[in-house]
Amino acid sequence: MVVKKGAVTQVSKKLLDRLNDAVAREMQVAVQYMWQHVQWGGVKGFAVKSELQSIAVQEMKHAEAIAERLYYLGGIPTTKPTPIFVGANLKEMIKQDIKDESGAITLYKEIIEIAKKEGDVTTAFLFKGILQQEEDHHDTFTTLAEEL
Ligand SMILES: [Fe+2]
Ligand SMILES: [Fe+2]
């Protein structure tokens, strides 16, 4: 167990590590979607550019919220994103984005389970809200994939 002075809730190193995985992933997709927003082209791209930009901003807010929680619990948030993949065309981009959203959904369900087991209700609550948005993103990207 990690002990932080002043923090009422104390959690395991395992949970702190998962939270840092989440921070790294959120930073990755924030940049990834923003650069995809910049590089989307053609008529199809025109219709979804602003959607990608708004999702990118949501991911940055996730990164910040998760990092704040991690720091409160005694962890140090990583500054390294997981590898960013922009893609050379719309199909490549969306294929990767669907993969990243399903990865986030799997990880966040795991975090909710661990947090609940450790009595960290606040982290579980935080990730329930984020999970809902990741499911929306996943839905958006799978719908876009059908149009390509
Ligand atoms: Fe996110
Ligand atoms: Fe997302």
Share of residues in the chain with pLDDT > 70 (%)? 95
Residues 84/28, Cβ–Cβ less than 8 Å: yes
* Per-residue pLDDT tens over the stretch 10-49: 999 999 999 999 999 999 999 999 999 998 877 777 777 8
- What distance in Å separates the CA atoms of residue 125 and residue 129, rounded to the nearest whole number? 7
- pTM across the whole model: 0.92
Ion ligand 2, residues whose Cβ is below 5 A away:
134, 137
State the pLDDT confidence band at 5, using cuts at 50, 70 and 90: low
For residue 37, report the distance from its CA to the centre of ligand 1, in Å: 16
Q: How many CA atoms lie within 13 A of 12 on its CB side?
A: 11
**Nearest ligand atom owner, CA of 97:** 2
Tell me the CA distances in angstroms from 37 to 45, 57, 68, 90, one per residue in order.
8, 11, 27, 10
For residue 6, report the distance from its CA to the centre of ligand 2, in Å: 32
For residue 83, report the distance from its CA to the centre of ligand 1, in Å: 15
